[in-house]
A and B are shown apart, each in its own frame.
Chain A
Amino acid sequence: MNFSPVDIMIFGVICLLGVGFYTLLFKRNLIKLVIALQILVKGVMLAIIGAGLISNRINLAQSLVITVIVADTIVAVIGMALAVQVRRQLGTLDVAELSKLRG
């Protein structure tokens, strides 16, 4: 069978999203969760570029992806700041320990 680049990209997007959701569900380390978000967003960026290729509007897709990259970096920064502060206050990176915060 002969696959076009866009077909391969859609397959890759599905795999990257699967890996990202798996990590979000099954890992408990806060920094691992931020890494999972990064993997998810990389899949989404590939999907947007693929959509731009299909609809022949690659420049619009590029503009959107640049905004996504900026937002994604900020999300990573704030997620890591949260993880560092949780580590300082509770001495652990475990998500389950966060239930101790319940007033």
Chain B
Amino acid sequence: MLYALLMLLSIIFAIMAVKAKGLIASALWLAGVSAMVAVLFYLLGARQVAVVELSVGAGLVTVLFVFAISIAGEEPGVLKSLVPAWLGGALILLMVGLFTWFTIPGSMTTIPSTEPPFITVFWQERGLDMVVQVTLIFAGVLGLIGLLAEVKSPLKHSVAEAITAKRDLELDQMGQPELEKETV
């Protein structure tokens, strides 16, 4: 069954995103979750959302993650959790149990109703949401400034500086024989 397969794939990708050792790998698995969810949306009839989810969720957010990780750098080693395992497990079990208890026994009968087309609902019924979205995008721009802001000395003797210096040196060494050839 196609729905079950896609759902299973997205859950597996989510678990891989959590379990992955490197942060870049984690971000790429998250893009996989996003793509699977977008395909599910498309199959379930939510076409517009599928397109937005695929371009924003799997595209933009992944690029942002890779960018942020390349600035912040990988964190070596796996850290032990602060929460005791039994408490965390009990809380998660409680959450899943409550959600199942509230959801599953409900009557899943579809209510027949007529609905205006997507454009009417999106631009007229939920017009106020647009104001919220504009405000949010403004907040996001401010956040990006925070992401890009340079402190005077970010990380002294960082690995990046060493790699850049080494590459420049190699490029210089590679460039010289070609110049000799040209002159001959």
* B147 near A93: Cβ-Cβ < 8 Å: no
Interface string of B19-50 (1 = CB under 8 A from A): 00001001100100110010011011110110
**In the complex, what distance in Å separates the CA atom of A88 from the CA atom of B67?**
15
Complex CA gap A45/B156 in Å reads: 42
A50 CA to B93 CA in the complex, in Å? 23
Interface contact A67-B133, CB-CB below 8 Å? yes
Majority DSSP secondary structure for residues of B touching A: helix
Q: Enumerate B62-86 residues with CB–CB distance to A below 8 Å.
A: 64-65, 68-69, 71-73, 75, 79-83
By the criterion CB–CB under 8 Å, are B146 and A29 in contact? no
With contact pairs A14-B100, A19-B11, A66-B122 given, residues A28 and B79 touching in the complex (Cβ less than 8 Å):
yes
Q: Which of B51-59, B160-168, B169-177 contacts A (4 or more CB under 8 A)?
A: B51-59
Contact with B along A68-83 (1 / 0, CB 8 A): 0111111011101111
Q: Is the CB of B83 within 8 A of A25?
A: yes
Residues of A near B46 (CB, < 8 A) are 49, 52, 58, 61-62, 65
Query: Which chain B residues border A31 with CB–CB below 8 Å?
Result: 23, 26, 65, 68-69, 72
B110 interfacial contact with A, CB 8 Å:
yes
Contact B11 A12 (CB under 8 A): yes
User: In the complex, what residues of B have CB within 8 A of residue A27's CB?
Assistant: 18, 79, 81
In this complex, what residue of A is CB-closest to B48? A62
Q: Is the CB of A35 within 8 A of B30?
A: yes
Q: Is the CB of B40 within 8 A of A69?
A: no
Where the two chains meet, the residues of B that have a C-beta atom closer than 8 Å to any C-beta of A are 1, 3-4, 7, 10-11, 14-15, 17-18, 23, 26-27, 30, 33-34, 37, 40-41, 43-46, 48-49, 52-53, 56-57, 60-61, 64-65, 68-69, 71-73, 75, 79-83, 88, 91-92, 95-96, 99-100, 103-104, 108, 110-113, 115-118, 121-122, 125-126, 129, 132-133, 136-137, 139-140, 143-144, 146-147, 149, 151, 154-155
